[in-house]
Amino acid sequence: MPQTDKQFIPLNIAILTVSDTRTEADDVSGKTLVERLEKSGHQLYAKTIVADNIYQIRAAVCNWIAEDNVNVIISTGGTGVTGRDGTPEAIEPLLDKTLSGFGEIFRMLSYQEIKTSTIQSRAIAGVANATYIFCLPGSSSACRTAWDSLISEQLDFSTKPCNLVQLMPRLLEK
């Protein structure tokens, strides 16, 4: 739960929509994430749409994790099981550490909404070069669930007993 004795720290967040069909005009999931991060007090660093292609996904994410000013990357789309769904395959090799609990809890929360259909989600999270990365399904409902129930509190420095923001200064420790 967020506590009020710590100051909120706004983060720079990049949003990546993975889709072969979406454009800025109809990218509801990307817009949902932008609205929520801005409402929470964070800053949109960049937003882009790439095709569901492992190398295009990886290129976009690599560019952002190389930037010192990007704290978090959230992708939406490409986490299903069809032949074109390749977001986890694109991102997992880039991760220094995985946050296995994220996918587990996301699927638990999704089960409450969509029952057994949640097994089709391969949502993942981790950290690469001191940048947190969350890979969400492409539905706007899934993006709302992930942000509202998991990501927003972990990206709030005032959340106790612990949060991801307080760990940021130590992510590059050896």
Per-residue pLDDT of 94-152, as tens digits, reads: 999 999 999 999 999 999 999 999 999 999 999 999 999 999 999 999 999 999 999 99
* Domain count across the chain: 1
Q: Say if 5 falls within a structural domain.
A: no
Q: What is the structure's pLDDT at 7?
A: 85
Q: Is residue 138 part of a domain?
A: yes
Q: For residues 145-160, give the mean pLDDT.
A: 97
3 part of a folded domain: no
What average pLDDT does this structure show over 40-52?
98
Examine residue 4 and state whether it is found in any structural domain, yes or no: no
| Residue 129, Ramachandran bin (φ over 0: left; ψ between -120 and 50: alpha; else beta) | left
Percentage of residues in the chain with pLDDT exceeding 70?
A: 97
CA-closest candidate to residue 171, choices 60, 88, 96, 75:
96
Angle of CA points 47, 72, 125, to nearest 5°: 110
Q: Is residue 31 part of a domain?
A: yes
Phi and psi, residue 14, nearest 5°: -105, 140
Is 66 among the domain residues?
yes
Question: What is the pLDDT at residue 65?
Answer: 98
Asked whether residue 128 is domain-assigned, the answer is yes
Residue 48 belongs to some domain of the structure: yes
* Range(s) of the domain holding residue 23: 12-169
Q: What is the CATH number of the domain that holds 131?
A: 3.40.980.10
